[in-house]
Copies of this chain bind each other. A is one copy, B any other.
Amino acid sequence: MREQQLKAFGQAVRHWRTGQRLSQEELASRCGFHRTYIGQIERGERNPSLLNILTLCRTLGVSLPNFFTHYETTIGTSV
């Protein structure tokens, strides 16, 4: 469950990132994160904090409700 949740979150990040035509490194740079952090997030290898989630959504230009609607769709189809 834990692993699926982290992977679904990562898929949502990838969805919104690619929609913005940003590389993982570009997104990391704009967020002020380490350049490898986005890749780890998208593979479900990280359990990000609230503040990092807020930074990600703001940088991706997506509202939190919209972001998590995509997350719930992903988790709903993968569980």
Contacts and interface: CB of A to CB of B under 8 A. Distances in A.
Contact of A50 (B9, B63, B65, B72): B9
A6 interface: yes
Contact of A65 (B47, B48, B49, B72): B72
A22 interface: no
User: Could you tell me the dominant secondary structure of chain A's interface residues?
Assistant: helix
Interface residues of A, number: 20
A7 to B, nearest CB: 11
Contacts of A66: 65
A2 B69 CA distance: 24
Interface of A: 2, 5-6, 9, 47-51, 53-54, 63-69, 71-72
